[in-house]
A = this chain, B = another copy of it.
Amino acid sequence: MTLLNFLEVFSILVNATSGFIEARNRKMDTVGFFIVAFVTAFGGGTLRDILLDRRPLFWVDHQEYTVLIFALALVARPLLNTLEKLLSERLLVIADAIGLGMLSIAGISVALAAGMPPFIAAIMGVITGTFGGVLRDIVCNEVPMLLQDRMPYATCSLLGCGLFLLMRKTGAPADFTLWFSALAITAMRLVTWARDIRIR
């Protein structure tokens, strides 16, 4: 398993966990746990692929991840209790920031490969990184946090996508560009969280 594969599974699990937490807060049943976690984990990438008309969708091509979330949904309640004993809020934020960086840069790469112009590709990166959470909130009948919590979540993603485009134009090595801009997003998210920086 390469590092990239590992981070992929990691990002999916982090997003699914955020879906499980939301489903538990809403006292949903097991069906709700699965659907909300699924939407949070794959919603951003699926929306991007529908907009780009790319098939097969990620979770169709990787049936195993869907099975994994299904299995986790069956044990999600005890699992969350255990996780909350093991992990601090700080760890969850760090995991989430890593997921944001990975997904955003994966999203912009896919969009550029599909021939999108730069600004649209950056928007697709932000959609991939953040719209799982937006769709989760829509399904759970809440105003999406992303739209009003004043945390620079989408902003970090967009700035990192801009950095990615810039580095790409200057001819930096592809791999370095990818990892550096993903890490930049993670770092920005962590710094703005630690300093409680808000946007208007």
Contacts and interface: CB of A to CB of B under 8 A. Distances in A.
Contacts of A153: 31
Nearest to A115: B56
Interface string A124-144: 000000000010001111111
A31 B116 contact: no
A148 B60 contact: no
A138 B198 CA distance: 25
Give the interface size bracket for A toward B.
35 or more
Interface of A: 23, 26-32, 35-36, 46, 50-53, 55, 57, 59-60, 63, 66-67, 70, 77, 116-117, 119-120, 123, 134, 138-144, 146-150, 153-155, 198-200
The A interface, classified by DSSP as helix, strand, loop or mixed, is helix
A162 B23 CA distance: 25
Chain copies in the assembly?
3
A132 to B, nearest CB: 14
A148 B66 contact: no
Given A26-B143, A35-B146, A77-B200, 18 more contacts: A26-B147, A29-B148, A29-B149, A29-B150, A29-B198, A29-B200, A31-B155, A32-B146, A35-B154, A36-B147, A50-B50, A51-B60, A53-B55, A60-B117, A138-B141, A139-B147, A141-B141, A141-B143
